[in-house]
Chain A
Amino acid sequence: MTVVFGVPLPAILGQLMLGLVNGSFYALLSLGLAVIFGLLGVVNFAHGAFYMLGAFAAYIGLQFLGVNYWCALLLAPLAVGLLGIVIERLFLRHLYQLDPLYGLLLTFGIALIAEGTMRGIFGASGKSYPVPESLQGGFNLGFMVLPIYRAWAVFASLTVCGLTWFLIERTRLGAMLRAATENARLVQAFGINVPLMVMTTYGAGVALAALAGVLAAPVTQVSPLMGSSLVIVVFAVVVIGGMGSIIGAIVSGLVLGMIEGLTKVIYPEASNIVVFVIMAVVLIWRPTGLFGRE
């Protein structure tokens, strides 16, 4: 058996593959955060809660309304995105003129309320969400068996990441969004409805979190605390990638997932902190993040 760093190669490849799966969730979540921060300047601490609500929307749909997985992939982000829009209209837009700290506190409060409510209704233990029939089974890669569902989750999240990047960086709509963040008043003067655009952007960012939640539901359990344990890592990912940088969020999400996987084989005890160590190093060396603008 080939051995690298004193570890058998199949073990490394296996953990790298799992790291890629986790990384694709980091990428999808940090992408939503980056979009919201980049275009609204809001540090959306409720992102983990929206991820959790997306998973619960899928669970509720399946258990009580007969909505299957494929429809949930579409409907859950839509429903949670609408909730995000309501929150933006009612609360968040009053804070744009203030220090970003206010937005952070507001969204943190929203996260606590959402978690507490779901905990009250569904209990602290998780609910299990079955893997859809057509995605059961696994591929034998030689060094490990990769469940088809996880391969699908990686594929789906990378596709969505790519589409979002394209939408923002390469289309006319994206150009208007970016222009509005540079100088909202000027863009408004051209007759573009900036408040509407900001509202939609927040909704879309929230919908991305909910989509990640639906994708994660069959992998982890659907539980009220699934978001809060993840959101801290995702924030670190965004900081490493550069606050507000779309491509930075995607790339650092994937790479950090894999570094975490590697750490699990080389020095497992450090796997929970490796992302934060990297964040500290990046902040010292490049305070704006790897892909951030000065």
Chain B
Amino acid sequence: MLKTMTVALGAFLSLYACSQAAAAGDQIVIGDIDDLSGVYADVQGQGGVEAANMAIADLGGTILGKKVIVLSVDHQNKPDIGASKFREWADQNGLNMLLGGSNTGVSIAMAKVAVAKKVPFFAIGAGGASLTGADCTPYSIHYAYDTTALGNGTASAIVKQGGKTWFFVTADYAFGTQLQEAAARVVTANGGKVLGAVRAPLGTTDYSSFLLQAQASGAQVLGLANAGTDFSNSLKGANEFGITKTMKPAALLAFISDIHSLTLQTAQGLYLTTAWYWDLNDETRAFAKRFFAKMHREPTMTQAAYYSATLQYLKAVKTVGSTDPDLVMAELKRAKINDMFTKNGYIRADGLMVHTMYVMQVKTPAESKYPWDYYKVIKVMSGEEADGSQPDPACSLSKK
């Protein structure tokens, strides 16, 4: 009796193991590693997963007869967690593509895993331009925006309007310093001057002493080289301490979720640079309407980019008829990108997706006619204007 049972159990187990292995090959697995609980949780967060799922649904849920699934995990803004989860999914879950959420530090760590495991990596939430510069890899695509484009958009608009002297309040990690560098470059190139900078730890809640340092510098412009709740907390503090009366705040990276939580009363008049806005045209509004029905808020530019990246990746898989990472990467770098996120976008040799960017100004409460009517377009920048026409020479792939 015992013998029969052991044999039966063994047979069952081996059957089970086989079916598991087959399941991994039957699926296309997309991963999302993002800040789901910290300062950047509102930028993509659950909305990013939702956007990726919308793209999958739009393509019918299966590609090449394989079901497409999305895994998601919180990296808690820790590079080691992001990298080890990426490695684990690549080794154990048959991961085919990774969507990278916020935090440049985490994304730099994950880019190294992308090369080691040969998994296409779409860096979306992270802004650091080094992802397609010194930290570029053959499997990385920097998809939505980067610090260079933000500097060329917001900083140049403000310097040209007479904001010549700057003081930066900078998030103290890779993203903040790269953003400050990019903005400072634009400021000095346009005849302005940087009077100083102070670095605040990620997740600072009370910016008062940093802001008083900015005020004491006597600069005209308060450059906020931070993002997420760091951005909204520092801007709130600047209002509370009356600093916005003497200095003009510059939002070097602001998402519509930040403007929504700050309210127009506080954010009005701010200049910012964005890759996408829900109210640009009929196509963006149609996507936003579907997204709103699920998430009860308008999508941010990076949530829209999550949709677009998933869509483009799956289309490339369909075209080449395989999930082979090298074939898919070649196809992605060959084809033009045309969807509701951007028109005629293309992926440069260094991995940067070059596309149109918009310099926006936040409306006043009187100008805003309906809910989430927050931005007016000040300037449309071509991809080359935003990011330069040549690949980043710091990237080893650019030299070919």
A interface list, Cβ under 8 A from B? 7-8, 10-11, 14-15, 18, 21, 123-126, 131, 138, 140, 144-145, 147, 219-221, 223, 226, 261, 264-265, 268, 271
A147 touches B240 (CB 8 A): yes
Complex alpha-carbon distance, A40 and B29, angstroms: 59
* Contact code string B236-269 (vs A, CB < 8 Å = 1, else 0): 0000111101000000000000000000000000
A145 touches B233 (CB 8 A): no
Complex alpha-carbon distance, A124 and B215, angstroms: 31
B39 touches A15 (CB 8 A): no
Tally inter-chain residue pairs, CB-CB below 8 A: 59
B209 touches A15 (CB 8 A): yes
A140 touches B206 (CB 8 A): no
Complex alpha-carbon distance, A217 and B27, angstroms: 48
B209 touches A261 (CB 8 A): yes
A264-B209 contact given A140-B242, A147-B241, CB 8 Å threshold: yes
B215 touches A14 (CB 8 A): yes
A124 touches B241 (CB 8 A): no
The contact of A8 among B198, B206, B216, by CB within 8 Å, is B216
The contact of A10 among B38, B76, B206, B216, by CB within 8 Å, is B216
A126-B240 contact given A14-B215, A221-B233, CB 8 Å threshold: no
Q: Hey, which chain B residues are within 8 Å of A131, CB to CB? A: 240
Complex alpha-carbon distance, A257 and B169, angstroms: 22
Q: Is B213 an interface residue (CB 8 A)?
A: yes
B20 smallest CB distance to A (angstroms)? 31
A226 smallest CB distance to B (angstroms)? 8
How many residues belonging to B are interface residues under a CB distance threshold of 8 Å? 21
The contact of B37 among A124, A138, A140, by CB within 8 Å, is A124
* Contact code string B194-233 (vs A, CB < 8 Å = 1, else 0): 0000100000011011001101100000000000010001
B164 smallest CB distance to A (angstroms)? 20
A14-B37 contact given A124-B76, A126-B229, A220-B205, CB 8 Å threshold: no
Complex alpha-carbon distance, A29 and B164, angstroms: 44
Q: Hey, which chain B residues are within 8 Å of A223, CB to CB? A: 205
Would you give 12 A-B contacts (Cβ < 8 Å), ordered by A?
A10-B216, A14-B215, A123-B41, A125-B37, A126-B205, A140-B242, A147-B240, A220-B206, A221-B205, A223-B205, A261-B209, A268-B198
Q: Hey, which chain B residues are within 8 Å of A144, CB to CB? A: 212, 215, 241-242
B227 smallest CB distance to A (angstroms)? 14
Complex alpha-carbon distance, A264 and B198, angstroms: 11
When C-beta atoms are compared, the residue in chain B nearest to A12 turns out to be B216
Interface centre among B76, B208, B233, B242 (most CB of A within 10 A): B208
Complex alpha-carbon distance, A14 and B212, angstroms: 7
Complex alpha-carbon distance, A147 and B238, angstroms: 11
Complex alpha-carbon distance, A138 and B241, angstroms: 7
A264 touches B213 (CB 8 A): yes
B111 smallest CB distance to A (angstroms)? 25
A14-B216 contact given A125-B38, A221-B233, CB 8 Å threshold: yes
List 13 other contacts, CB 8 Å, given A15-B209, A219-B206, A264-B213: A8-B216, A11-B212, A11-B213, A14-B215, A14-B216, A18-B209, A21-B208, A123-B37, A124-B38, A144-B215, A220-B206, A223-B205, A264-B209
| Contact residues, B82-107 vs A (CB, 8 A) | none
A23 smallest CB distance to B (angstroms)? 13
B208 touches A18 (CB 8 A): yes
Q: Hey, which chain A residues are within 8 Å of B240, CB to CB? A: 131, 138, 145, 147
The contact of A145 among B39, B209, B242, by CB within 8 Å, is B242
Q: Hey, which chain A residues are within 8 Å of B241, CB to CB? A: 138, 144-145, 147
A265 touches B213 (CB 8 A): yes
Interface centre among A123, A124, A226 (most CB of B within 10 A): A124
Which 10 pairs of residues, A with B, have the shortest CB-CB distance? A145-B242, A11-B216, A14-B212, A220-B205, A123-B37, A221-B205, A147-B240, A124-B37, A125-B38, A264-B209
B106 smallest CB distance to A (angstroms)? 15
When C-beta atoms are compared, the residue in chain A nearest to B36 turns out to be A123
When C-beta atoms are compared, the residue in chain A nearest to B240 turns out to be A147
A12 smallest CB distance to B (angstroms)? 9
The contact of B39 among A7, A21, A125, A264, by CB within 8 Å, is A125
When C-beta atoms are compared, the residue in chain B nearest to A11 turns out to be B216
